[in-house]
Chains A and B, each alone.
Chain A
Amino acid sequence: MEIRRRKNQIEISELDPFLAELLRQIPASANTEGAPAAEQRIFSPPINGKETELCAEWKMYVEPELRRLFQTATQTVGADLEQLNGNEESLANRTLRIPTKHADAWLSALNQARLVIAAKNNFTELELNDHLHSPIGSRRDLSLFQVNFYGFLQEFILRELDD
């Protein structure tokens, strides 16, 4: 896999089917449905302690806005990922082009996905920092790889935004 900036696009080329599939899973991975731990992490309370009035107002007025914001980001990413539609064979050596104006949506969707996966799997800080962990021998290992792979993409996009 190669990743580079080309004019107004971030280009991820020579994608193998496995990484292409991981990319395609970003929107689904960001979904908190049926995962209370993930829901709690993504929509954390605005205050610690017992200020129930603020928390109730937050749930009523702020949370729906945040939901919309997050959903818009995953929809943008989902639309970009349509470039990777197809069967496994046709996914070999595919190229994904992300318009740089979508960079913020990608950062958000990747972050949502990483947080949701980490919350669902209850990863420890030690596990998350173990970047040399290998090989992938279980569903949990795969999820950890997914978190790290998405983190790598985030780092690249952040670097590009910085330049």
Chain B
Amino acid sequence: MHFSPLGDRAVVIALGATIDEATHRRVRAVCARLEMRPVAGMIECVPAFASVVVHYDPARVPLHASVGDARALARNAPASTQDASPYACMVASLADALTPPLDERPLSAAVVEIPVCYGHEFGPDLVDVARHAHLTPDEVVQMHAAGDYRVHMIGFLPGFPYLGGLSDRLATPRRATPRTLVPAGSVGIGGRQTGIYPMDAPGGWQLIGRTPLALFLPDQEPPTRLRMGDRVRFRPISAQEFERWSPSA
């Protein structure tokens, strides 16, 4: 665990350097702990593949936080944190909150099924992905739908899930020229990742299909169908089934 500043109002807690299950569990454990034991001055936590960013208000950080053993931990941070700046106090409090052993056991995860209509106008890049993988388009669909995916993080767009677990055979570089408009629901492959565009947006991923499900639900709390840690399965559906789906779904 390594702390470093992200500007004058945020701290990066680095928890690894790779996308893997152990790092993911550490990220979730840190978020769960900070949710249970919020640190004074903290505004919110933003988890990612291998880090958690804590946004805070320097004016609300108690400048004489208790700094016992946590202070020693904080010394791992850059030398600039030795003074009682809001950043130094924030790091000390965070280290303090995260010192008792974290629960990094595998967490039970919801399994969410996402119906996808592959190919045709819903997945204009399916043929390119198949060519790149030396497979037929049907084989790509079978392989993609057979995968067991994990939501490693949500970012980029409201409700956009970064999914791990893509078969290496399907890894395809991003398009040389990003599309100016990727339709909402598009399922794409970007390098070794796969994901779903929750709303119309520009994007460079290879589009292989589309789901009729809404992923971003601003009237709900939390406002996303998928959460960090969820497992995802894709179920191929026909164009007819796609069209039958209620637009409000």
Interaction A to B: no
> Which B residues fall within an 8 A CB radius of A?
none
> Which A residues fall within an 8 A CB radius of B?
none
